[in-house]
Amino acid sequence: MCLQQVATRRSRLEKEVEEKLRPSAAAFERDARAKLEREAEDRVRSTLHEVEKTLQEKLEKEVESKVRLTLPDVERRLRAELEEQARSRVSADGGRLEREAQDSLQKEAEEKTRRMLPEMEREARAKLAKQAEEAAASALPELERQAREKLVVEDKVRATAAASIEKEIRDRLRKEAEERIKAELPEIERQAREHFMTQCPPPPAPMTPVAPVEPPVAVPSLQADAAQADRLAQLQQVDREHQAPAPASTADADSAFETQRAKGEETIMTGIGPILTRCVRSMPYPAEELLRQIESDFERRRDEKTQQLALEMERRSRVDAERQAFIEDHAPNVAEMS
């Protein structure tokens, strides 16, 4: 039955070939022979069944013997069929072989990577540790320089703050003393005048001299009272100068103020020193107690500022130590990230 079908098909193909492919028989025969020979060799190498091989060889021989008169259509059909068959078999076998090769290569790569992983990890850790050490060694001089600069700046700030605090305290104490003296100055002047009037009463009414009047003998107490009167006059002159109208320009006002202040300080220091000494003793509280209070206030404020500065410096040193420890702890991570 199969042979009859083959014979029928062959006769039909022969008729079609004879009808359609008569021109250019010799050239096509050579080309077809060469191509069919190559295809026959390919088919022989392939793994087809014996029956298919036998049928294909018979068909090829018959086609070769009869296609010498040219049958391009038959050749194209046969070639397409053979190519399709070969492609289907090669694609099926090739896909399977490719998958098997990929699986085997992947397994080998995984095994090799698994064997090399500890060594690679050790090398990476050693490399990172070396990089961290190099980064820390390179950054150490800069960190040391920054720390030294910071310490120098802190020392300067501490010295400047102590000087400014001391100056502020001295200025405040001097201002308070000046305000107290200025507030108590009228009372001091009044007491000095009363003291002067009690020690120097008004002279009696003039009488007709009977004998030539001798010049009065200078008594030390009267001379002291006269000196006190002169100093009081100087003090009143200073008060009048302080109450003078203000100058027109700012520069003149500043110069006049400085002149009056210097003049007033000189007068106070040289003129009313003894009077202040006597009058301060008659105050409700002694001057020594006032000085002790001022000194104790100054010492207390200075101790408070010193304690505040010490606490601030201790806090800054603690923060710097924590920052340095943080930098040392995270230096490997920073080097690894860089």
pLDDT band at 37 (very low <50, low <70, confident <90, very high): confident
pTM, full prediction: 0.23
Token duo for residue 322: 């924590």
| Distance in angstroms (rounded) separating the CA atoms of residues 182 and 186 | 8
Is the pLDDT assigned to residue 82 strictly greater than 80?
yes
| 319 contacts 182 by C-beta, under 8 angstroms | no
- Give pLDDT, residue 242: 45
pLDDT in tens, 222-267: 444 455 556 556 555 655 554 444 444 444 545 555 565 555 555 5
| 215 contacts 190 by C-beta, under 8 angstroms | no
In a 13 Å sphere around the CA of 169, the CA atoms on its Cβ side amount to: 18
Determine the residue type at 120.
M
pLDDT in tens, 151-202: 888 778 777 877 777 778 778 877 887 787 778 778 777 777 776 677 654 4
**End-to-end CA gap in the chain:** 83
Token duo for residue 130: 């070396």
The alpha carbon of residue 223 and the mean position of all alpha carbons in its chain are separated, in whole angstroms, by: 78
What mean pLDDT is predicted for residues 58-64? 78
| 177 contacts 294 by C-beta, under 8 angstroms | yes
Determine the residue type at 93.
D
| 189 contacts 234 by C-beta, under 8 angstroms | no
DSSP characters over 236-302: HHHHHHHTSPPPSSHHHHHHHHHHHHHHHHHHHHHHSHHHHHHHHHTSSS-HHHHHHHHHHHHHHHH
pLDDT band at 277 (very low <50, low <70, confident <90, very high): low
Q: Where are the domains of the chain?
A: 2-109, 143-198+222-337
Q: Which residues contact 279 (CB under 8 A, 6 or more apart)?
A: 187, 188, 191, 192
